[in-house]
Every structure is written in structure tokens, then in C-alpha cells.
Chains A and B, each alone.
Chain A
Amino acid sequence: MSPLDVDALAALVPDGALVAMPPDNSLTPGAMARALVRAGKRGLRLVGVPVSGYCADLLIGAGCVASVQTSGVSLGEAGFAPRFSAALAAGRITVTDATCPAMHTMLQAAEKGVPFMPLRGIIGSDILAHRPDWKVIDNPFADGGDPIVLLPALQPEIGLFHAQLVDPDGNVYVGRRRECATIAHASRRVLVTVERTTDRNLLEDEMLSAGTVSGTYVEAVAIAERGAWPVALLEEYGFDSAHFAEYARLARTEEGFQTYLQRYVFNTASAKVAAE
């Protein structure tokens, strides 16, 4: 598998696609989100695994998004996600609320190829009342009187995340961030940005194989150095909280958000400097 550049990878995402991404404490595809903005994608339907952050807010602000299904959208310590809030208030996007273990469970059902899976809890939450696709049944293995929620399988069309390494067979290293493995297993097509290539086969190394996603699942890879930025990448580089604070400040207004896009998304040279 020969790596592409990140803009070529972004071109593989069709408008309107159902796109799954990990949150801001995992292998966040920051460079890919910026490439999707540059590509002018429209109508994306985002899936937060299990929550959403920087990438979702950026794509929403840039007008790339029609809807979000997630358990939460926030910038963590930097506060609420400003472009998400503004777009929701203006009616430009719809949000389908969930709860974290429900997102995982729906994706696990897709991993297994079964139509649904049960999950405890949730009964009595208003989330359930607004999810006609979630059903409550009586546990068929009990003697009655045990209601339980059934969740449908959720198969994203596209799974996106950033990995540390790719080997010649397209195997990618995600370490213990196994929600990225869930994304890879559940999604129909998986597009991965990576820090760098390695010549050794990751699946032949007992120390690395358990943290590796098999190339079986991966359609295409692009090299994106510091591609998780402004989010951390495993032990390689830390979380850029100063940049998150700058984003949160600028994205409070539409004008400030446009400044952010010009500075860090359309001007790839200045973004590269900032990421380093």
C-alpha cells in the first residue's frame, strides 16, 4: 500500500458520508479534518466514538456537516464547542444524542455483523424518548419484568483516525487506543493518516501486534506528520492546550472562526509551523 498525501486521502470521502472519528483523548484525525475543510466537503454525517471535539467543531464551523450523532461535543478544558452550539442554534445541523456505552455497543454490533445488541441503563433518560431507533424489550431470558434497551448496529461508511505507524502491508499501530480498532472493524471503509512508515511487519512483532489494526480493514493511508495535532499522539507529542484555547477564543464568533481557517487550515505552511 503506497501512502497518499492527506488531501488525496480527503478526496476519497464522498459528500454526505456517515463518518466516524475518535475523541480528543485518542488518535484524533486533526490533519484529515483540516483537509476535509480544504476539500469543501458538504453534508457529512458525523459519528462521535463515543464523543466529539475539535474535528467535529471545525468541520461544523466550515459548513461541512449536516448532522452529528454523539454522546457529547466539547473542547474539554477549553469549554463548550462554539461552532457546534452556533450551528445547532441556527438550525444548520441536527444532533442525535446518545450515551457513551451506547455508541460503543452500536459499533460493536456492526463489528459482529449482528443487527442489534442490548445495553443496560438508559431507561428513564430523555435520550431514549428521542431515539425511535432504540427499542425496549422484556428480557427473554428472565421470568418477565426486566425491561432492557436494544440498540441497532451502526455501520459508518467511513472511519477516520490517526495512527503512529504504517507497515508495507497497510497494518497501522494504534497502541491501546482500541476505540480506533472498533472504528476500523465497524466501518465499511477506513482511511488512516499516520506519522510515518516502518519497514517491519507490525503483525509479526509480538510486542506490537496487539496494538495494531490489521491492514485488512484499511483502504488507504496518508502520511501526516503531527497529524493528530492539536491533540496528543500516544507518548510522541502532548496535547496543545494553548492552541485549544486559541481555537476556543477565535471560534466564539463566525469572523474569528474564519480567521482560524485562514491561519491554520487554508495556510498549510503556517499550520505546519504551529504544529511543531
Chain B
Amino acid sequence: MKFSPSLFEFHNVTLTRQDNEILKSVNCTVLKGEYCAIIGPNGGGKTTLIRLLMGLDKPTSGTIKLFGVEQHQFKAWHKIGYVPQRSALVDASFPATVREVVAMGRYALRGILSFESAEDKRIIEESMEQMAVSDLRDRLIGHLSGGQRQRVMIARALASHPEVLIVDEPNTGVDVESQHRFYELLRSLHKTRGISILFITHDVGVIAEDISKLFFVNQTLLVSQTPQEIVGCESISRLYGNPSHVLTHNH
């Protein structure tokens, strides 16, 4: 049996704000090479779980490990490509071209007062090509469509050469056609580049086919198992607390 090192580990993680338990005793592990989805009702703590993982919020108790290292000692943040919720909603007049945005993915890897190396340039070009945004390089990010902006944000995340890509509700403000292309892209990145994927979605139907692990978050981590066991309407209804129907897309 092939050993897969853990990317992320949550051990009894609890987050309390003003006596309200946002997340309670979360225990889970994401392994290298996995393609994971996080689902759950609004306000259930999905985004908070990711923010805790990225160190943007601090847990009240419990420990989080990234790549086997305690979070407070972890330095290799470039290994994680992070695309937060609503990141594609950019101010229309913000002076940033597509290339400048993608180049930000290299910033944390460069020293202070350093110029772009030949390798930086190559990786930026590669990331733009992979996300099919090379033609848009000189356009302002705020002038693009929602789907195009979303691809630019993924290109920025890819420019740090991440081992795992975390995407929070990728389809906020994006049309259906772009959503389909987006999920196709995530699959392709997982299969061709071997990047582990962890994404939050409301779109339960899209996860039915090839997700290797599914997390259901509603104040605590209720489920962590293969999607085939959970995407049945009855299971979803039970978890969300009201009758639900799963609509699958043909990708």
C-alpha cells in the first residue's frame, strides 16, 4: 500500500467567539493527492475552517498541522495556493493588469528588493497559459468577466507552484458555463499536475463523480467519507436539516 503524507491535520480544533461555538472539536486529515470537497449549510463554518487552516483565524483550542509541521512553525506557505471567497470581485478601476496579478503569486518566494528572475518569468507565463489568460495579460483585472477573473486568480495561486490548491466557493458571481469549465479545470489540475485540491462548494451535484473525500461542516465536522456514501438525497436532507435534491451536471 502506497503511503500518502498528510497535507493538513486538525486535532480537536475548536473556535469560540463571544461564547458562540463557531466550530467544535474538528478532527480531520487531508492527504497528499486527494481531491476533497467541503459542503455544508450557510453559516456552518466552511470558510472559517479554511481560514483556520490558512492561519487567518486562530483556534480557541486544538492544533493544526500543515505538511506535518505545527501551524505556528510553518513557513512554506507557497506550497498552498489559496483562492478565497469572492476574490474574483475586484474593483473595476484597480490598477492591476492580469500579468501583475499573476506575478503576485511569486512575491512570497522572492526576497526583498529582488527583481523577477528568468524562472519567475517562465512560471508566470506558464501559469497564465495553463489558465488560458495569456491573451489578457495587459488588460486590467477589473475589466474582465467573472469567469476570466476567476481563472486569473487560480493562475496567481498556481504561480507559487503549490502542492495543494484551496478554493473557497469558486463560483460566486460566475455564470453556469464558466462554472462547468471551472470544475473541469480543477479535475485537470489534479490529474495532470498532481495538485491536491480542497474546495468549498454549495454545488453538491458536481462532487458526485470523482471526489476522493468529502467534508460536511455544520459547526463541527460531521462527515468525512467517500462521496458515494453521502450524495444520496436522503443523506443530504438529513445533514442540511431539510428536504434536498441532488442535481448532477454532465461534465
Partners in one complex: no
Please list the residues of chain A having a beta carbon within 8 angstroms of any beta carbon in chain B.
none
